[in-house]
Amino acid sequence: MLLIQTLNSYHFFDIHFWRKVINIGLPISLSSMAIAMLGVVDVAMVSSLGQNDLAAVSYGARLMFFAFFFAVGWCGGLAILAPQFIGANKLKELRKTTVMAFYVLGSMLSLLITLFIFYSEWLAEIANTSPEFVSVTSQYISIASFSLIFTAIILPIEINLRALGKTRLTSVMSLVSVLLNMLFNYVLIFGKFGLPELGVMGAALGTVFARFLHTIILLIIITPNKEGVFPNLKQFLQFDKLKELKNYLSLTLPILLQNVGWSLGLVMYNVLLGQMGVEELALFGLINPMESLLMAFFYGFAMASATLLGQKLGASNFDLAYRQSVPLIVVPVVFSAIFGLIIWALTPVIANVYAHADITRIDYSLVATMSIAACLCIRVFNMVVINGVLNSGGDVKYTMVVNIVCLWGISLPLALFCIKTLGLDIRFVVIAILSEDIVKAILVYFRLRKKMWLKNLVTNMNESC
C-alpha cells in the first residue's frame, strides 16, 4: 500500500500525465525511427553495389551525422528556453530567441558546408587512403553537404513546434521527408524511370532533394503563424537590436561543445576502423543503422521530458518537475531492458538481414549488435537524464564535461588501444566503445540526485538583463 502511494505521488499512475508524454514523445519516437529506418534502407541499397560503396556511405553519413549535431548544438539555447518561455507565456522573448538561433545557426553551417565542399577528399583520406574509397566518399560528402542549408531553416522551426506540443506535425513532416528520401534514393541510385544510374552520388542527391521539399512544405504550413511563436520579416531585420545574445550563447556553447565533442568522437570511431581496413568500416556501416533504430524509439522520452519539465520549471513549479522526472526516467529504462532481451531473441532474424551484404565477416557485426543491445538500458538512462532532465533546467556545462571526458578520455583511448596495441577485431572494439556509457551513467546519476537542474531560466535571464 505504501509503495502504491509513493508511486502515485510520483505520477506513475497519472493517466493525464502519461497522455501528455505519449502525445509529445510518441510522434518524435516514430519520426526518429523512420529516419533510422532510412539508414537501414540506405545501407541495404548501397550494400548491393559493393564493399567500397557501403564503406563510403557509412563514413560520409557519419560526417553528416556530425554536421546535424553541430547544427543542433547551435540551437541548444533555443531548445532549452522555448519550453520555459511557453510555460511562462513570454512569446515575445521566444521570437527574439528564435531569430538569434536562425542567424547563429545559418552563419556557422555556412562555414561547415564550405569545409565539406572544398576539403571533401582530405576528409575521406583521414579514414582510408584507398583511391576508390576516397573518390566515392568525397563525392558523397560534397553533394550531401548542401542538405545542411535546409537543416538551418528546419531545426529552429521544429524546436518551437515541439515546445508547443505540436509533435505530430513535426513527425509527419519527418516521415514525409524520409519517404521522399527513400524514393529519390531508389530512383537515383539505380537509375530508374530512364535516369542514369548514379550509385552513391544518387544517395547524396536524394538526401538534398528530400530536405529541400521538406523545407518548402514546412514553410507553407507555418505561414499563418497563429500561435505567434515564429518571427516575422521585420523581427528578422531587428537582430542587431537584440541584447540577449550573450545569455543565449551561455546556454548554447556548452551544448555545442558537448554535441561537437560527442559526434566528432563518433566520427573518430569510423576513422579508427577505416585504418583497420575498408571491410571493417563496411561492417560498422551495418551496425550503425540498427544502433540508431534501437535508440530512436526512446529519443521521444528524452524530448518529452525536456518539454514537460521545461514548462514546469518556467512556471517555477520545482517540486512537480522533480516528481515527474522520476517516472520519465524509470519507465524508458525498464522498457529498454525489455527491448534488449527482444533483440537477443531475434538474433536469427538479424543474422538473415546482415547476410544480404557483400561482406565475409557478418558474424562480427552480429556479435557487436548483441553487445549494443545488452547495454541499451544504460544508454537510454544516459540519454533521458542528459538530453531530457538535466538539459531542461540548463545544467549543460556539467553534461558537456561528462560527455566529452567519457568519450575522449575513456572509450576512444580504449578503442585505440584495442586496435593498435592488442590488434583486436571489431567485436572487441565495439565493447570498448560502449565502456563510456557505464562511467557516464554513474556520473549523471549523482548529478541528478543533487537537483541542481531545478532552475527557472526565464527568471534568471530577466534578472541578468
Residue 142 is predicted with a pLDDT of: 92
Residue 35 is predicted with a pLDDT of: 62
Residue 82: how many other CB atoms lie within 10 Å: 28
Q: Is residue 464 part of a domain?
A: no
Q: Is residue 367 part of a domain?
A: yes
Q: Is residue 169 part of a domain?
A: yes
Contact 143, 203 (CB under 8 A): no
Q: Is residue 53 part of a domain?
A: yes
Q: How far apart are CA 330 and CA 380, in angstroms?
A: 10
Residue 240: how many other CB atoms lie within 10 Å: 7
pLDDT (tens digit per residue) in 92-136: 778 888 888 888 888 888 999 999 999 998 988 887 788 888 888
Q: Is residue 317 part of a domain?
A: yes
Q: How far apart are CA 381 and CA 336, in angstroms?
A: 9
Residue 334 is predicted with a pLDDT of: 92
Q: How far apart are CA 259 and CA 65, in angstroms?
A: 11
Q: In whole angstroms, how far apart are CA 398 and each of 55, 60, 291, 377?
A: 35, 30, 26, 22
Q: Is residue 16 part of a domain?
A: no
Domains held by the chain: number: 1
Nearest to 453 by CA among 404, 385, 400: 385
What is the phi/psi pair of residue 418, to 5°?
-65, -35
Q: How far apart are CA 298 and CA 380, in angstroms?
A: 7
Residue 36 is predicted with a pLDDT of: 61
Nearest to 420 by CA among 276, 282, 278: 276
Q: Is residue 2 part of a domain?
A: no
Nearest to 82 by CA among 152, 174, 19, 167: 167
Q: How far apart are CA 305 and CA 21, in angstroms?
A: 8
Residue 257: partners with Cβ closer than 8 Å, 6 or more residues away: 73, 400, 404
Residue 151 is predicted with a pLDDT of: 86
Residue 78 is predicted with a pLDDT of: 83
Residue 461 is predicted with a pLDDT of: 53
Provide the domain limits for residue 84.
Answer: 23-454
Length of the chain: 465
Helix runs in 88-166, H state only: 91-118, 120-127, 131-144, 147-163
Contact 109, 132 (CB under 8 A): no
Q: How far apart are CA 459 and CA 166, in angstroms?
A: 25
Q: How far apart are CA 121 and CA 126, in angstroms?
A: 9
Question: What pTM was computed for the model?
Answer: 0.71
Three-state DSSP class for residue 327 = helix
Residue 207 is predicted with a pLDDT of: 85
Q: Is residue 13 part of a domain?
A: no
Buried/exposed 110-145: b ≥16 CB within 10 Å, e otherwise: eebbeebeeebeebbbbbbebeebbebbbbbbbbbb
Q: Is 342 exposed, middle or buried (0-12, 13-18, 19+ CB in 10 A)?
A: exposed
Q: How far apart are CA 56 and CA 144, in angstroms?
A: 12
Q: In whole angstroms, how far apart are CA 451 and each of 3, 312, 318, 322?
A: 23, 14, 10, 8
Spans of the chain, pLDDT less than 70: 1-3, 5-7, 9-10, 31-32, 34-44, 47-48, 50, 224-229, 232-244, 274, 277-290, 350-366, 459-465
Q: In whole angstroms, how far apart are CA 321 and each of 15, 166, 312, 365, 446?
A: 17, 21, 6, 41, 18
Residue 37 is predicted with a pLDDT of: 63
Q: How far apart are CA 33 and CA 40, in angstroms?
A: 10
pLDDT (tens digit per residue) in 19-32: 888 887 777 777 66
Q: In whole angstroms, how far apart are CA 431 and each of 316, 322, 411, 418, 435?
A: 42, 34, 9, 10, 7
Residue type, 127: A
